[in-house]
A and B are shown apart, each in its own frame.
Chain A
Amino acid sequence: MTGRARARARGRPPGQEAAIPSVGAASVQQTLPGQPLSRQQPQQSHVPPSVSEELGGRGRQRVPQGVPQSQDVKKPEGLQISAGFQELSLADRGGRRRDFHDLGVNTRQAIEHVQESKTGSSGLAIKLTTNYFRLTSRPQWALYQYHVGYSPEMEARRLRSALLFQHEELIGKTHAFDGSILFLPKKLGNKVTQVFSRTRNGEDVKITITLTNELPPNSPTCLQFYNIIFRRILKMLSLQQIGRNYYNPNDPISIPNHRLMVWPGFTSSILQYEESIMLCTDVSHKVLRSETALDFMYSLYYQVEQQKFRDVCAKELIGVIVLTKYNNRTYRVDDIDWDANPQCTFRKADGSEISYVDYYKRQYNQEITDLNQPVLISQSRKKRGNLMPGPVVLIPELCFLTGLTEKMRNDFNMMKDLAIHTRLPPEQRQREIGRLIDYIHKDDNVQKELRNWGLSFDSNLLSFSGRVVQGEKILQSGNVFDYNPQFGDWSKESRGAPLICAKPLDNWLLIYTRRNYDAANTLLQNLFKVTPSMGIKMNKATMIEVDDRTEAYLRVLQQSITRDTNIVVCILSSSRKDKYDAIKKYLCTDCPIPSQCVLARTLSKPQSCMAIATKIALQMNCKMGGELWSVEIPLKQVMVVGIDCYHDTIAGKQSIAGFVASMNHTMTRWFSRCAVQSRGQELVDGLKACLQTALRDWYKWNKYLPSRIIVYRDGVGDGQLNTLVNYEVPQFLDCLKSVGKDYNPRLTVIVVKKRVNTRFFAQCGGGGLKNPPPGTVVDVEVTRPEWYDFFIVSQAVRNGCVSPTHYNVIYDTGKLKPDHLQRLTYKLCHMYYNWSGVIRVPAPCQYAHKLAFLVGQSIHREPNLLLSDRLYYL
């Protein structure tokens, strides 16, 4: 189904949600069902987002719940601190305390053959610039870390700060303090300094400031610290924080046709890279929607039948990130409570009972006009402010929707309108990135802050030289295609050439509705035209007309499929998911037959019919176990594995890992399995079983076991690297050990990451910038010293900036030279049969992705293993 394939077949960025059991999940299950209005009992957990009487903005006072009470006892006057101090919380990093940069995971040290060098050598040099700026510090710069102790113990962070900064003459104006750790750019006279402060109650407090660390510029703590300072700077530039990034709300791009608003902004992170500490910053666009969750519910209400409304509503809203009107927080919608409404009450931290309407009126002067709306439930998994993990109640009227839903992503028009604004060509992108550094250099306050800390940023983007490796020859039944490596596409060159392995269409079904009889005929006629040159023998299909109902399709399938059926082709009249899902589910599990769905509309344009028939013929051939083309693979006895995950955001319950493994030397045949696991289960257990079966099948085909296994692992979230290294890799090794005593293959595990902020720009003649060509490899400067990693730009893009793929070799006993591993990786990017061109990731990753997506979206359980030797999931 081409329309489906074109749609961004992708779940949410793989978070960690799936693997971690949610603490709050169980409790909401118990509290939710039907408790209208009388939810006043000790439901401490059901609270609106900011119960602490905290005012707008990002209230980041990190005080555990319960503490404010005791603090009030001590200080009846409240907290009016007049001592000047700049608040700094480690949470300024952007909300969650997860380490997104996988700092401290040092995998290179265990890989012997890359201790000296991890760089490749082949290819032609190319001048590149990238979106990195060097961070420089004064010579002999150090950051001084102090521990600050209070006697008697003071609990409130603000009080601790206020007391400490009564001694500004000692500490200086430049400091960062989170309540117990103090960072200073200068060294205090003594290692231990004691000072006295007086609280407003007249209590004398002894403060002991002890030097605990003298941090060199590249220490991990310093890196964290730079990021905190940088976020401070972005705030000073009046950028608004949403999620992890910062956006400029002053010049939004509005797209009224889709009620969308796009805010331009920046992603930023400061890390230790190969040679120096650098700021990596990229243009980011935040898509916001100028409608509230309530608006959305209303427009949905008018669109769907009443009895379906709640289901559809839940489907559309659950998983969506909302932004609250009254403060700047984002929440993920996990549930809708139809039995509750804004008039329900909750218990505030001080014990008093208040309704949501009154609360929002009093606290934020927000008028809730619709008193019958349901409420949204968000499970906060981490501690946020003084809110403990648990369900949070949100009022739809006060929540803006953000981001795009799956439905919107599938809306071609919308994506087209959006792309105009978000896909920036290289030069423009570079200009926008430069703008941030300009802001930084031109803002006096920012410069002062940086100067005080003894830090500064380079004003130029980092430039260095990368390599463009040789293009790959595409081999297909004795033909070698000559294609333009700049475009990375051989669809024209290979059209009509005989395939490596063509599967005959002896006995196949073509199912259509009455309305689509013409479309079915067109397809049939065109298939007859295009298949002979490919070497596909084709008989006329068994044509079956059905009613346009899901049950009708299923009945026909049950009645007409025989043991000899090669493939089933269904012409669908709309992209409605339920019909597609039902067909796929039946044909992938109960009745394992390859199937091809085609939207009637795709066949409606006479001028493109031939091209589409060609594509469909190729796809059908792959699904039946055929092979299209290959590239030269010099390595012998190697099995390449691809793994990707799909996280079901809508149901929020299960994750699917797609697993594919090459079965022959030319890597034209792939074994596949997938592991379906519910929340809380570890993914890796399923993967072990997958690897075992793959090896068994490999043996069946080759009569020996592979001496080398290379795993490309996609779908790893930021901050998950540690888990992978410490848990998943050992399990792979375990699994290999279990195969046989003398079986000791070489294993390489490579983490593949598509979503990186790194961009490369190639300089073209005349000072302009363009995208680097396919085959560009970067293994210097912007890579990390503690990793064996590299970037490859494998695909070509027509508009916007190409995004390189990051490869991180986390385990390697293969001893392949870095150059060979890079080349092999690039070769594999040519092997994805659904696209006659080079793709962003190695083919096994994309196959694994397609498989996981199909299972996660449509099938929801493991497909029949009889299909496992074919690319039925394309």
Chain B
Amino acid sequence: MDKNFQEEQFTGIIKFTPPLYKQRYQFIKDLVGKYKPKKVADLGCADCTLLQMLKFCSSIEVLAGLDICTSVMKENMHRLSPLPGDYLQPAERPLTVTLHQGSVAHKDPCMLGFDLVTCIELIEHLEQSELMKFPEVVFGFMAPRIVVISTPNFEFNALLPNKALFRHPDHKFEWNQAQFQSWALETARRYDYSVEFTGVGHPPTGMENVGFCTQIGVFVRKYPQTCESAQSEKPTEAVYKMVFRAVYPSLKDEKYLKNAVVSEVIFTAQNIKRSLLDRLMAEHEEYNNDPVERKFQFQPSMNRFSEDLGKLVVEKSMEPFVHGNVVYIPLTTIFSFPKVNRLCGTFEKLCKLIAGKVTLSSDGSAVMFNTELENEEN
């Protein structure tokens, strides 16, 4: 993977393309793509950059962020809010994004039941005492299916232009490969997880033994999903403070589904009506041989003609028809349109969802439009 970095001089500056932090996020994104977790938590989410990327991943329904510092989360947290587009076209999947202020050394029930927990460049910021509690909180208490932990590889530092001991002044330690792996293996063993090691940021050719610039451990729980009862055995009080919560509009929510269905039904019906009237008009023109333009308004003189036609098609209940000034578009026809069909699933559900919102014929089988009303003002 030579393309992942450029060497200017062998002992000189190493530049990663794309930047290393992006590679780390991409790694998580790929993992999400592979395992399709529904509930994902990012511990040490900082300015929520990873969460912002993950909110676009369609498998995720619950997304939580945890950080010790509120202000850094607040900086960009509004980017986690739904966008106008999310309201205009609610997604199929539900999504709730929450941010919590708290420490990974403390247990809070809001972190239970997750499929994936990520700790990107987190552990090296922990004090010794916090690091001691960390495995019990994440692996013992939260016990998600997958845990991803990334941390700097101390051995790689020699290749970086950084002259300081650690890469960041706030780092309490930086481990070499052996240190990280032994910690990880021990943790995995104790909490019944398997662990695989990988990383991002390849070392230069010939120096492979240095290892990745960022080392990553992917932990997978060996025992099956903790059942509900097991979780309830872990009664803990809430200690995290919720700083942000956004519920995305979703078609799972009846309110949005109703709106979407009504809107789609009326739109579909109007399309059918227009093409029906156009067709009638065209036939009428031929019949009349009148050199009027194709798109002139529906005229009262036509109604007699269309009434006949209406009688013709009235038997075939699938066909829309015109009767007097009223156009009838059977719900079954509308239901046969893929978009409506996909939204409602069943015909019964369609009827239920549009009840009271769309003008129907007396027997409730067709959408009604009055053509005269429109003629007046168009």
Instruction: List chain A positions with a Cβ less than 8 A from chain B.
Output: 53, 55-59, 72-73, 76-87, 173, 198, 200-202, 235, 238, 240, 242, 247, 249, 252, 254, 256-257, 259, 261, 263, 288-290, 292, 299, 302-303, 323-328, 350, 363-366, 400, 411-413, 515, 547-549, 573-576, 601
Contact = CB atoms under 8 A, between A and B. Distances in A.
Contact of A323 (B85, B292, B295, B378): B85
Given A57-B80, A80-B49, A290-B88, 18 more contacts: A55-B49, A57-B79, A58-B79, A73-B15, A76-B15, A77-B19, A81-B47, A82-B46, A82-B170, A85-B71, A198-B169, A202-B163, A288-B88, A290-B89, A326-B56, A327-B83, A365-B58, A601-B376
Nearest to A413: B377
Contact of B56 (A242, A364, A549, A573): A364
Interface in B59-87: 69-72, 74-76, 78-85, 87
B239 interface: no
Given A53-B22, A78-B19, A85-B71, A325 B85 contact: yes
Interface in B149-189: 160-164, 167-170
Contacts of B332: none
Given A56-B83, A240-B84, A78 B22 contact: yes
Contacts of A601: 297, 375-376
Contacts of A84: 69-72, 75
A428 to B, nearest CB: 23
A56 B55 contact: yes
Contacts of A302: 271, 275
Nearest to B262: A256
Contacts of A198: 164, 169
Nearest to B71: A84
Contacts of B167: 77, 200
B267 A256 contact: yes
18 contacts: A53-B18, A55-B52, A57-B52, A57-B80, A58-B79, A80-B21, A81-B46, A81-B72, A84-B75, A86-B74, A238-B81, A256-B262, A299-B271, A302-B271, A302-B275, A364-B56, A574-B295, A601-B297
B291 interface: yes
B325 interface: no
Contacts of A413: 373-374, 377-378
Interface of B: 13-22, 46-47, 49, 52-53, 55-58, 69-72, 74-76, 78-85, 87-89, 121, 125, 160-164, 167-170, 259, 262-263, 265-267, 270-271, 274-275, 291-293, 295-297, 357, 373-378
Contact of B20 (A78, A81, A259): A78
A273 B84 CA distance: 34
A55 B79 contact: yes
Given A82-B69, A413-B374, A574-B296, A76 B160 contact: yes
A103 to B, nearest CB: 27
Contacts of B49: 55, 80
Interface centre among B84, B160, B274 (most CB of A within 10 A): B84
Contact of A72 (B19, B71, B169, B262): B19
A261 B262 CA distance: 13
Contact of B87 (A59, A252, A515, A574): A252
A86 B75 CA distance: 5
B34 to A, nearest CB: 15
Contacts of B13: 73, 76
Contacts of A82: 46, 69, 72, 125, 170
B56 A201 contact: no
Contact of A200 (B72, B168, B267): B168
Given A400-B85, A400-B88, A87 B19 contact: no
B152 to A, nearest CB: 8
A547 B290 CA distance: 10
A739 B214 CA distance: 80
Given A57-B52, A202-B163, A412-B377, A325 B83 contact: yes
A413 B369 CA distance: 14
A431 to B, nearest CB: 24
B134 to A, nearest CB: 17
A261 B88 CA distance: 8
Q: Would you call the interface of chain A mostly helix, strand, loop, or mixed?
A: loop
Contacts of B374: 413
B84 A202 contact: no
Contacts of B84: 240, 242, 247, 249, 263, 288, 323, 328, 400
A778 B105 CA distance: 63
A435 B162 CA distance: 54
Contacts of B271: 299, 302
Nearest to A3: B377
Interface centre among A57, A198, A576 (most CB of B within 10 A): A57
A263 B271 CA distance: 26
A350 to B, nearest CB: 6
A55 B53 contact: yes
A59 B163 CA distance: 33
A87 B58 contact: no
A350 B296 CA distance: 55
B355 to A, nearest CB: 14
Contacts of B17: 350
Contact of A325 (B46, B69, B80, B89): B89
A425 to B, nearest CB: 24
B81 A57 contact: yes
Given A84-B72, A256-B262, A325-B85, A202 B78 contact: no
A81 B72 CA distance: 8
A516 to B, nearest CB: 11
Nearest to A286: B84
Contacts of B89: 290, 292, 325, 400
Contacts of A73: 13, 15
A645 B281 CA distance: 41
B52 A56 contact: yes
Contacts of A411: 377-378
B15 A547 contact: no
A289 to B, nearest CB: 8
A76 B69 contact: no
Interface centre among B75, B85, B377 (most CB of A within 10 A): B85
A391 to B, nearest CB: 22
A303 B274 contact: yes
B259 A254 contact: yes
A548 B292 contact: yes
A290 B259 CA distance: 11
A324 B85 contact: yes
A575 B293 CA distance: 13
A546 B55 CA distance: 63
A328 B160 CA distance: 38
A833 to B, nearest CB: 26
Given A323-B84, A323-B85, A411-B378, A201 B162 contact: yes
The 7 residue pairs across chains A and B that have the minimum distance between CB atoms: A78-B21, A57-B79, A202-B164, A84-B71, A365-B56, A325-B85, A412-B377
Nearest to B201: A76
A134 B71 CA distance: 30
Nearest to B264: A256
Given A249-B87, A323-B84, A411-B378, A254 B75 contact: no
Nearest to B373: A413
A290 B263 contact: yes
Contact of A77 (B21, B72, B76, B80): B21
Contacts of B19: 72, 76-78
Interface centre among A56, A83, A261, A323 (most CB of B within 10 A): A56
Nearest to B26: A362
Contacts of A549: 291, 293
Given A328-B84, A400-B85, A79 B79 contact: no
A259 B72 contact: no
Interface centre among A55, A79, A247 (most CB of B within 10 A): A55
B253 to A, nearest CB: 12
Contacts of B267: 256, 259
Contacts of B291: 547-549
